[in-house]
Amino acid sequence: MSNSIEDDSFSKPVGRWSVYCYGVGHMLNDITSACWFTYLLLFLTEIGLSSRDAAIVMLSGQIADGLATIFFGELIDRFGHFKIWHGAGAILVAVSFSSVFGGCIPCKLLSSFSTIVETVSYSTFAAIFNVGWAATQVSHMSMVSCITLNSTSRVVLASCRNAFTMVANLSLYGIAFIVFEVIRAETRADIENQYRWIAYLSIFIGCCFVGVFYLGTKEPRSKTGIHGDIHARISWTYWFLKILYYQVAIVYMLTRLVLNVSQAYLAFYVIDDLQMAQSSKALVPAIIYICSFVVSILLQEIAWKEQRLKAYYTAGGILWIFCGIAIILLPQSMSLFVYAISIFIGIANALMTVTAVSMQNVLIGQDLNGCAFVCGSLSFLDKISCGLTLFVLQSFHSSSPIVAGNYSTGNFSITRYGLGLVPAFCSLVGVAVTWTMELRIPSYKPLTETLLE
């Protein structure tokens, strides 16, 4: 009788409080990631590094992140203990992130502000930060599959996580808006002071939410199978033999490219191409994430099936294609229209992110003892592809800022193509791959044991 009650309780959707507590667990990562992709290249070029050197710093962090995701994915699958890995990563992120935006510490110790020393210093701290970021990300993402086998609950958890990603981004842009208004950047020291305060406040807010996650989320147990048996760790080759693995990997990688590349060039676009006020580099991203937050909340109320996942991803991809075209063609004289474009970008980002992560959970299914490898390997592709893409764009940006003629009063620049063309192309390919998938979402029988301890 007791087993029947336990089985019935597991077959029901995950409770709201559990969903919220899980959702806030990635806040520290999200708020620091928002700062990383939005302001890192801008910060480094403003303090005097060349576009190429700034790209090297970004690439070093992305490579470290990508390699670390594979490493941590294997260790988590082998030893478990999601929350321990999450906590270790969070500590490393909190300690190292302020050094990424806090000025060149080795330069001050060595009394040398040469380009080489600065580049090496920022690259080192960027790599350390991203190693910690990877530990937290892989452990948090892979927890979803071990918390529940219910496909709708998995999407709800992913959607809630995405909603709080929006909260984190909005917090970052709120902080940035205030800092940029209060602290005027007239010297290099002022610029470093601006971003130092942004980093400190971001870390504080993120750590508060991580505390809520630890208090409200139980440690999942990944070793129990559908009938209560114990499963061995799944070999990597098991996933490599699945066609769906490659399809989901491509869609996830392209979706992350859409988000990260657009985020990295948005501040450059509104300041350099549209010649808008400094506050716009916080206001425009804020509008995007407000819209994404609203859509992510609405997506939690939907019962998910294969066709819905594909349809919603397609809708987001098509929206991004039109937004990309608008970004490329928007003249400086009509710069205010970027606020309208931002609304649709926010909607598209939420639709694509939630469904792409949900496809990843469909791939994992009941194979829980390989979930961390799947999350880690997909993140590896995401980080490396993003780092290389930004490096190539920055290299062209430094050597040839203007690559075509004028359109009205605006120039076709690398920034425009980076923000408009790259995400639009990735969206198009992602939509095409999505419709080749066979996403079988089974109705699981209840477990003999709950996955939450």
Tens of pLDDT, residue by residue over 62-87, are: 899 888 888 887 888 777 788 888 99
CATH code for the domain of 213:
1.20.1250.20
Output the average pLDDT for the chain.
80
Residue 10 lies in a domain: no
Convert the pLDDT of each residue in 303-318 to its tens digit: 667 788 889 999 999 9
Indicate whether 307 and 372 sit together in one domain.
yes
Per-residue pLDDT, 290? 87
pLDDT, tens digit, for every residue of 113-129?
Answer: 678 888 888 899 999 99
Confidence check: pLDDT of 444 > 70: no
Could you say which of 186, 218, 250 is where a domain stops? 218
Residue-level pLDDT at 239 = 82
Which structural domain range is residue 185 located in? 17-218
Residue 48 located in a structural domain: yes
Residue 111 near residue 75, CB atoms below 8 Å: no
Please check the confidence at residue 10 and state whether its pLDDT lies above 70: no
- Answer whether residue 228 is part of any domain: no
Tokens, residue 11: 């077959």
The answer on pLDDT for 343 being more than 90 is yes
Least confident of 41-45, 106-110, 118-122, 331-335: 106-110
Determine the average pLDDT of the residues in 228-238: 61
Query: Using one digit for the tens of pLDDT, what is the confidence trace for 379-390?
Result: 888 888 888 888
From the list 155, 217, 193, the residue with the least C-alpha distance to 357 is: 155
Of 192, 218, 244, the one marking the end of a domain is 218
Residue 397 pLDDT: 64
pLDDT digits (tens, 9 = 90+) for 144-178: 777 777 767 777 787 788 778 878 888 888 898 88
Q: Is the pLDDT confidence value at 7 over 50? A: no
Contacts of 248 (CB under 8 A, 6+ apart): 359, 360, 362, 363, 378, 437
Answer whether 127's CB lies under 8 Å from 97's CB. no
Percentage of the chain beyond pLDDT 90 is: 22
Burial class (CB in 10 A: 0-12, 13-18, 19+), 425: middle
pLDDT band with cut points at 50, 70 and 90 for residue 232:
low
Work out the percent of the chain whose per-residue pLDDT is above 70.
83
Which of 191, 218, 245 marks a domain boundary? 218
Q: Are residues 360 and 249 in the same domain?
A: yes
Other Cβ atoms within 10 Å of 427 Cβ, number:
27
Whether residues 197 and 275 share a domain: the answer is no
Total domain count, the chain: 2
Q: Quick check: 258 pLDDT over 90?
A: yes
